[in-house]
C-alpha cells in the first residue's frame, strides 16, 4: 500500500506540474477559463464520489466513475445521478 500511495503522490505532482505549464502557455483569459473548467470538473468528480457512496458502490467502481466524470464531465455525471434517482 505504501508503494501505491507513493506512486499516486508522484503522479499527482507530475500532473500538477503539467497543468501549470499548460495553463501558463495560454493567453491570461484562456488560462482563467482553463482553471475554471478544471475546477468545475473537480467539483463534479466530488459529487460523483458522493453519489457512488450513497449507491453503495465498491471502491473500484467509485474510482472508475470519478475518473469518467473528471474526463467527460456532466455527461457521465448525468448517467450516475439518473441511476441514483431511479433507486
Residue located via cell numbers 449507491: 55
Mean pLDDT, to the nearest integer, of 48-64?
Answer: 91
Per residue in 7-50, pLDDT (tens digit) is 556 666 666 777 777 667 767 767 777 778 888 888 999 999 99
First CA to last CA distance, the chain = 34
Instruction: Count the Cβ atoms, other than its own, within 10 Å of residue 82.
Output: 9
4 pLDDT more than 60:
no
Cα 2 from chain centre: 23
Amino acid at each position: 500500500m505504501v508503494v501505491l500511495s507513493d506512486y499516486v503522490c508522484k503522479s499527482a505532482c507530475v500532473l500538477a506540474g503539467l497543468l501549470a505549464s499548460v495553463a501558463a502557455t495560454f493567453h491570461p483569459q484562456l488560462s482563467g477559463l482553463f482553471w475554471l473548467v478544471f475546477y468545475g470538473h473537480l467539483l463534479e468528480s466530488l459529487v460523483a464520489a458522493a453519489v457512488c457512496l450513497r449507491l453503495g458502490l465498491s471502491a473500484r467502481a467509485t474510482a472508475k466513475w470519478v475518473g469518467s466524470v473528471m474526463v467527460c464531465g456532466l455527461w457521465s455525471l448525468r448517467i450516475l445521478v439518473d441511476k441514483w434517482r431511479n433507486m
